[in-house]
Every structure is written in structure tokens, then in C-alpha cells.
Amino acid sequence: MVHPWQFVFDPAWIVGLVVIAVDYVVVVRAYERRGRPVPTWRRWAFAAAITVTALALFSPIEHLALHSMLSFHLLQNVMLGDWAPPLFLLALSVAMARDLSRRRWVAVLANPPVALAIWLVVWYATHIPAFYDYALRHEWALGFEHLAFLISGLIFWWPEIVSGYLSPVGKVSYLAIAFLAISPLSLFIYLANSPLYSFYEHTPKLGGISALADQQIAGVAMAIESNVVLLTVIAFALMRLLADEPAPDGPADVV
């Protein structure tokens, strides 16, 4: 039996998200006391980021990913790696982004070639069948996988969203390269003629579909979900480029 509406209680991630939320509130108030207020829309972006992350980790999406379907697991990966991170970065005010950019480790990780490489390594490495199956059978490894998607997503989206790293042309090129580089992964999952992940071979599926059909749905859904995000941001960057908006100079800013 598959219970499609069952939620998941994960105390470690609940505590983690609460700590992040409290820290954001404290930081926002600290900046406001210094006369550097955080716009309301950025606070809503943070709330949206927390909501997307919580849905990925505690909703029936997590339950189905853990006990039933690869397609829901890949949806969860996209939510953690490509949906939540841009929202977290948009939640940073200009001053916050500028202060963080001054830290050496941020400058190193946010260097566009490094950021892109880290993002691609995480996506490809975590989908190696041996690792994927191991993570599904070991809670600590699955937690590491989730964290890896969040962190690599933040690193990847930083040079795209925070100014001072890429020119308008560079932003379009950066995402175009990412689009081309990540596409073979979803294509490989879709075209495989047998189940790639043994964990899902015998788990019950919604609608009684086969493991191979679930995998094909997962490949298509992953391509749509991740590439829609990339293509949407590419379109936005192109519009800014065609509008001849000059690249900002000086300290880092958040778009």
C-alpha cells in the first residue's frame, strides 16, 4: 500500500530550518538598527525558500520519495537544489550580500567556474546508482544528499543572482552552459531500458505503474522542472541584456 498523503517528521531538519529562520530574523533586525533596512519582498522570498524546503523534506513528497517512487525523489532534489537556493539568495539585502562577498571562502566558492563545477559534480555524483541506493537505505547519507543539493544550489546561483561576478552576457552564458551540461543526466535516466536504482524496483507505486515507467516519468519531470528554472532565468537575463542595462560596478549586490 502507498499512503500518498503521509507527512514525515524529521527533527534534525526541523531544528535546522528553525535555526536558519531565527538567524535570518536576528540578522535583519541587526541591519535595520544600523539603518540598512531589508525590503519586505526579500523577507517574502525568505519565507518562500523556507516553505519550499519544508515541502521537500516534510510533505508527502518526502514520504513517497522514501518509500515509493523515484519521480518524487527527483522532484525533491530539484526543489532543494534549484528552487529553494535562488529564493534564499534573493532574501539577502544589498548590504548582506556585500558583507558576505568580502569573506574569502565565499569569493572562492562563488567564482563562476568553481560554482558550476561543484553544482554539476553534486548532481552527477549523487545520481550514481550505488550512492543513490545507499543513501535511500541509510538516513545519514540521505541527509548528506539533501544538504549537498542545498549548498551546491546556493553556490551555483550566487554568481548569477549576486552582482559583481558576471556581466549580463556572462549570466546568459553561465546558465546556457549549465543547461547543456545538466541535460544529459535527465536524458540518461529517461532512456535507460531497465531500472537504474534497485531500491525502487519493488516498492509500491501510485497507480500501480512499473519501476521503469516511474523512472521514465522521473527523467522527463526532472528535465522539465530543472530546465524551466534555468530557461526562465536565461530569458530574464536576456531581456536585461537586450535592454542594454549596464553591469553594476563596485561592491556586490543582489538582483
Report the C-alpha gap between 179 and 234 in whole angstroms.
Answer: 10
Domain ranges of the chain: 11-242
Write down the pLDDT at residue 245. 53
Write down the pLDDT at residue 255. 58
Cα distances from 224 to residues 182, 207, 231, in angstroms, run 12, 22, 10
Question: From first to last of its 255 residues, what are the pLDDT tens digits of the chain?
Answer: 678 889 999 999 999 999 999 999 999 999 999 999 999 999 999 999 999 999 999 999 999 999 999 999 999 999 999 999 999 999 999 999 999 999 999 999 999 999 999 999 999 999 999 999 999 999 999 999 999 999 999 999 999 999 889 888 888 899 989 989 999 999 999 999 999 999 999 999 998 899 999 999 999 998 888 778 888 888 887 887 777 555 444 444 565
Cα distances from 236 to residues 43, 113, 179, in angstroms, run 22, 21, 15
Write down the pLDDT at residue 139. 92
Write down the pLDDT at residue 243. 76
Write down the pLDDT at residue 15. 97
